[in-house]
Amino acid sequence: MTISAERPTEVAASSATPPMQSGRVGWTQRPGWMSQHLGTAIVLGIVGYLFGHWLGNAITGNYAYVQNSGQNSAANFFALLFAVVGWLLGIGALNYPFAKLLGREPKQEPTVEGWSKYFRYTLDHKVVGLQYVVGVLLFMFTGGLLAMAIRAELLSPTTHLFGPGTYIEIVSEHGTIMMMMATSIIVGPMGNYFVPLMIGSRKMAFPRIEAFSFWIFVAGYAVIFSALPYGGFPTGWTGYAPLQTQAGPGMISYLFGFAVIGMGMMAAGFNIAVTIINNRAPGMTWSRVPIFVWSILATAALLTLATPTLFAAGLFGILDKTAQTAFYVSEHGGSSYLWENLFWFFGHPEVYIMALPGFGIVAEILPVFTRKPLFAYKVAASGMIGVALLSFFVWQHHLFQSGINPDMRPLFMLTTELISIPTGFIFLVGMGTLYRAKIRFEIPMLFAMALFFNFLIGGVTGVFLSDVPVNVTVHGGFFVLSHFHYTIMGGLLFAFMAGLYYWLPKMTGRMMNKKIGLWHFWTMFIFFNLTFFPMFIIGLLGQPRRVFTYAKNLQGLNDFSSISAFLLGASFLLFFANLMYSMYIKPVKAPANPWDSLGLEWQTASPIPEYNFERIPVVMSDPYHYSEVGAPPVADLGTSAPPVVSTTSGSSPA
Amino acid sequence: MTDMYNKSKGYTETPEEIEYELRAKVGSVWSGGRLFIGMYTFLLAALAFAYFYLRTANSGLQWRPHNMTAPTAFGWSIFALEALTAVLAIYGQWRLRKGVVLDWQVAVWTGVLTSLVALFLQIWETTTLPFYPGASGYSSTFIGWVVINIATLVVGVYWLETTVARSMRMRKELGKDNPELSSVATARLFRANVASMTYFWGFVALSGALFLALFYIL
């Protein structure tokens, strides 16, 4: 059924509302300090940790191998497991499933006003989106501090700050934190906040699963960080066996942390995919779905289908550590290559889990600031689906050096090179949109254009790396490191910043300061390139990754890269300063649609009401008919407001 | 315009909007159930990959020394109970479609019982294994299967129990209406949930058959 553009004028009350929830509110949900919130989650998390540690020791403390080794991995694992369970209990994530299990009608979650709602288990996708913004920024900030520590050590070719053990712990923690953060950095904040708005929905399909995905994401962050007091893990973010098998108790935090964050990723992907499939407004056919939503759908498919493999790989690793199985122990019938295969079967799609939403953001932003229709919309959408599909068939290129059958190399070299074709589609869509455009160089647009510059370098070096002879030469060195920083940081992080500057006015009702924003952009863009471009040269000259010493003749380049990295770090401080300045110190109210966008998310009231749209909109065309004379209206919002139509020129923001 | 005020949501809705959102909700339950099975398939595929990878690699000739096998009586019993639960769920849904709600409830409560017994047997089996978890590649993957199967049974029995409990609570809302025939929102959501749950149990039985063959027969 579709809702007609002609709205009904007389309506009789019906009993069709699903009586899924009673109006009662449980004491745990009432506002106030006795209710469930971040504080209770922390307390129960600590209680769970202590209980789990005791339980693990009680179960396995008497085994000879535990007593001989001096460490009890089972106790460490149970401690973390029960900490996460306690955390979820404390925040209220388990109220609903327990109520159902006990045969009760789940109680209504109350609408909490004010700041405290950001510290609670909430069903409003916009609150979850903002929670994610803070969450991923926390991830990024801590991971960034670790990056500064790495570059500080590399100022000198010999040891001067950290010993080798501490250095590899820092490198491993930095890589893991950043990769985990990067999987959610756009899907979490912007996917959750804007997908329902962009498809004209009043809510997510499964709001509880959405909230669960965020709170377990935070728990995963804490679990991964718990590796540091346990002595860290020496494997880098890839966790390769047999080093994994030999590592100390910090490895449990890595394996379990990955599994916990994996659950969050699966939950987020599942909920978003189902929402896009089912909750599109009337008239929003697949050919009218915003391109950002297409990118999130492709990403959600990858999150949903690739992450279970990571979860299984982590489970096997935990079993090796706690139940003494031998999945990754060759002497007992296992294989360290099994980890590598399972890890990269997830790990390579993960690269596109990170890249696709970035492409989606810039493709969404370009038409707004060029005032041109998105060039070859269908090619962009099919490119995203093509990348998602092909990403399942390239993982073995990570194993070119690891004992793969040499006859298999050409196949995976071919599939890896093939994936550059749909990626190229998306790139050409961007170039086609920019062609002969009158560009408005607002800050989101600058970040979007920087992505194309950075990703071009990252992408072209990726084509080199997929080639077996080059891969053999530069594998495990700074060349690879620079390549993936160009794709992930140069692509994803710049897209994230573009998205933040673009959508924050709608999320917060306040404009970001343009002058500080310009300083932020130019310092980030320049120092990003000055940090990572020399690493291509350093890599070609032979410096390996994850090693704290290097040849004396590479010190100049390394020092240059380190100093640029510190300045790159400072550019993020500019961003935080801008955030504080624009939100609290000197807030400027944002107009309802400061960029003159045709997107549905900009057409609703500001601040956005909890139910998003007064009436469910009826969509009439895609939102990219900028400057087209006689273009059809985008949507009928069903209110007194006129239908959303394209304008021939854009106005600058207030 | 005299739209209906939705107290729990705090805004007004037209009947068309209510119907539209309900359809979205029913569709979400339907497609969510299928997508969940897709996720589970990839989880089990990872285990099957581990099985075949280690079996083929046979590192140190330690894939399966002395043809060690988990207790087959347990394996067959657990599988039989899983298959029986799936048959009960399918039969129950068939009866529900005929309008016989009581048959469906009896079938699903029996399914709760059989799946709980399967869960109990799966846990008990770990105490009777004739090998250590790390004795071989086979024993390791078997322990992996046990953990995943326990999780599967917990999810499955939870789904069964909460669905049948919902059907009993629903009587208050539906009165004498049959949930299979009623067009009330609760009944439509319930039917979508039953369909997804039944589909999931069919999947559990099929995957159980595959891993029965891998671990107990081959």
Reported as a single tens digit per residue, the pLDDT across B81-115 is 999 999 999 999 999 999 899 999 999 999 999 99
- Domain for residue B25, yes or no? no
Residue A648 has pLDDT above 90, yes or no: no
Q: Stretch A414-435: mean pLDDT, rounded?
A: 91
Query: Which one of B13, B42, B51, B141 makes the best mutation probe of the A interface by having the most chain A beta carbons within 10 Å?
Result: B42
How many alpha carbons fall within 13 Å on the CB side of residue B111?
35
A137 close to A50: Cβ distance less than 8 angstroms: no
Cβ contacts of residue A416 below 8 Å, gap of 6+?
A394, A397, A466
Eight-class DSSP state of A374: P
- Domain for residue B7, yes or no? no
Q: What is the ipTM of this complex?
A: 0.94
With CA atoms as reference, report the closest residue to A132 among A304, A268, A335: A268
The model's pTM is 0.92
A86 close to A104: Cβ distance less than 8 angstroms: no
Query: Facing residues of A544 across strands?
Result: A477
Handedness of CA B84, B90, B95, B101 (dihedral sign): positive
Measure the CA–CA gap between A409 and A398, rounded to whole angstroms: 10
Chain A residues in contact with B54 by the CB 8 A cut-off are 327, 333-335, 338
Handedness of CA A610, A613, A619, A623 (dihedral sign): negative
- Domain for residue B201, yes or no? yes
- Within an 8 Å CB–CB cutoff, is residue A98 touching chain B? no
With CA atoms as reference, report the closest residue to A165 among A254, A224, A232: A232
Measure the CA–CA gap between A204 and A59, rounded to whole angstroms: 42
Amino acid at A267: A
SS3 state at A419: coil
Measure the CA–CA gap between A605 and A34, rounded to whole angstroms: 34
With CA atoms as reference, report the closest residue to A534 among A554, A548, A550: A554
Measure the CA–CA gap between A92 and A34, rounded to whole angstroms: 12
A472 close to A401: Cβ distance less than 8 angstroms: yes
Chain A residues in contact with B24 by the CB 8 A cut-off are 201, 205, 278-279
Q: Alpha helices of A509-554 — where are they, by DSSP H? A: 514-540
Measure the CA–CA gap between A403 and A399, rounded to whole angstroms: 7
The CA distance from B10 to the nearest CA of chain A, in Å, is: 8
Residue A67 has pLDDT above 80, yes or no: no
Query: Facing residues of B12 across strands?
Result: B5
Measure the CA–CA gap between B191 and B33, rounded to whole angstroms: 12
Tokens linked to A402: 């690891």
* Cβ neighbours, 10 Å, residue A68: 7
pLDDT category of residue A401 using cuts at 50, 70 and 90: confident
Chain B residues in contact with A111 by the CB 8 A cut-off are 10
- Domain for residue B10, yes or no? no
Measure the CA–CA gap between A277 and A289, rounded to whole angstroms: 11
What is each CA distance from B177 to B100, B167, B180, B182, in whole angstroms? 12, 12, 9, 6
Residue A501 sits at φ, ψ, to 5 deg, of -65, -30
A381 or A630, which is more confident: A381
Reported as a single tens digit per residue, the pLDDT across B115-137 is 999 999 999 999 999 999 999 99
Find the residue in A nearest to B138 (Cα): A333
Tokens linked to B114: 């059989």
SS3 state at A42: helix
- Domain for residue B72, yes or no? yes
Find the residue in B nearest to A304 (Cα): B39
Q: What integer pLDDT is reported at residue B134 of this predicted model?
A: 94
A340 close to A397: Cβ distance less than 8 angstroms: no
Cβ contacts of residue B128 below 8 Å, gap of 6+?
B71, B74
CATH number for position B209? 1.20.120.80
Q: What integer pLDDT is reported at residue A402 of this predicted model?
A: 82
Q: Give the distance between the most distant pair of CA atoms in chain A.
A: 82
Radius of gyration of chain A (CA): 25
- If contacts are CB pairs under 8 Å, which of residues 162-191 in chain B contact chain A? 162, 165-166, 168-169, 173, 184-186, 189
Measure the CA–CA gap between A165 and A240, rounded to whole angstroms: 17
Q: Stretch A21-48: mean pLDDT, rounded?
A: 73
Cβ contacts of residue A473 below 8 Å, gap of 6+?
none
Total domain count for chain B?
1
Q: In what helix (H) or strand (E) does residue A619 lie, and over which residues does it extend?
A: strand A618-619
Percentages (nearest 5) of helix, strand, coil residues in chain B: 80, 5, 20
Residue A40 has pLDDT above 50, yes or no: yes
User: CA angle, A577 as apex, A573 and A583 as ends, to 5°?
Assistant: 145
How many alpha carbons fall within 13 Å on the CB side of residue B176?
0
SS3 state at B13: strand
The CA distance from A41 to the nearest CA of chain B, in Å, is: 24
Eight-class DSSP state of A227: T
Burial class (CB in 10 A: 0-12, 13-18, 19+), A533: middle
Q: What CATH number was assigned to the domain covering residues A122-585?
A: 1.20.210.10
High-pLDDT (> 90) share of chain A, %: 73
Handedness of CA A109, A113, A117, A122 (dihedral sign): positive
Reported as a single tens digit per residue, the pLDDT across B18-52 is 999 999 999 999 999 999 999 999 999 999 999 99
CB contact under 8 A, B7 and A611: no
- Within an 8 Å CB–CB cutoff, is residue B25 touching chain A? yes
* Cβ neighbours, 10 Å, residue B44: 20
Which one of B17, B32, B133 has the shortest CB-CB distance to A3?
B17
Tokens linked to B66: 């002395």
Reported as a single tens digit per residue, the pLDDT across A327-369 is 999 999 999 999 999 999 999 898 899 999 999 999 999 999 9
A604 close to A126: Cβ distance less than 8 angstroms: no
Eight-class DSSP state of A647: -
A129 close to A275: Cβ distance less than 8 angstroms: no
Q: In what helix (H) or strand (E) does residue A618 lie, and over which residues does it extend?
A: strand A618-619
Which one of B54, B162, B166 has the shortest CB-CB distance to A335?
B54
Measure the CA–CA gap between A414 and B206, rounded to whole angstroms: 35
SS3 state at A341: helix
Query: Which one of A615, A618, A636, A639 makes the best mutation probe of the B interface by having the most chain B beta carbons within 10 Å?
Result: A615
A232 or B178, which is more confident: A232
Q: Which domain holds residue B211?
A: 44-217
Measure the CA–CA gap between A587 and A584, rounded to whole angstroms: 6
Domain boundaries, chain A: 32-121, 122-585
Measure the CA–CA gap between A223 and A230, rounded to whole angstroms: 11
High-pLDDT (> 70) share of chain A, %: 92
Measure the CA–CA gap between B45 and B69, rounded to whole angstroms: 21
Interface A:B, Cβ pairs < 8 A:
222
CB contact under 8 A, A334 and B165: no
A304 close to A270: Cβ distance less than 8 angstroms: yes
Q: Stretch A482-510: mean pLDDT, rounded?
A: 95
Chain B residues in contact with A619 by the CB 8 A cut-off are none
Residue A652 has pLDDT above 50, yes or no: no
Residue B5 has pLDDT above 80, yes or no: no
With CA atoms as reference, report the closest residue to A82 among B194, A90, A306: A90
| Strand intervals (E) in chain B | 4-6, 11-13
Q: What integer pLDDT is reported at residue A570 of this predicted model?
A: 97
What b/e readout covers A471-507, taking b as 16+ CB neighbours within 10 angstroms?
A: beebbebbbbbbbbbbbbbbbbbbbbbbbbbbbbbbb
Measure the CA–CA gap between B160 and B88, rounded to whole angstroms: 11
A584 or A29, which is more confident: A584
pLDDT category of residue A1 using cuts at 50, 70 and 90: very low
CB contact under 8 A, B59 and A97: no
Q: In what helix (H) or strand (E) does residue A296 lie, and over which residues does it extend?
A: helix A291-322
Which one of B1, B10, B139 has the shortest CB-CB distance to A9?
B1
Note the Cα A599 to chain centre separation in Å: 22
A253 close to A294: Cβ distance less than 8 angstroms: no
* Cβ neighbours, 10 Å, residue B53: 18
Note the Cα B210 to chain centre separation in Å: 16
pLDDT category of residue A135 using cuts at 50, 70 and 90: very high
Mean pLDDT (chain A) is: 89
Tokens linked to A422: 């749909």
Find the residue in B nearest to A337 (Cα): B53
Residue B3 has pLDDT above 70, yes or no: no
- Within an 8 Å CB–CB cutoff, is residue A265 touching chain B? no
- If contacts are CB pairs under 8 Å, which of residues 500-559 in chain A contact chain B? none
- Within an 8 Å CB–CB cutoff, is residue B72 touching chain A? no
A327 close to A317: Cβ distance less than 8 angstroms: yes
With CA atoms as reference, report the closest residue to A507 among A635, A602, A391, A625: A602
Measure the CA–CA gap between A89 and A123, rounded to whole angstroms: 16
The CA distance from A483 to the nearest CA of chain B, in Å, is: 29
* Cβ neighbours, 10 Å, residue B175: 8
- Domain for residue B168, yes or no? yes
Residue A372 has pLDDT above 60, yes or no: yes
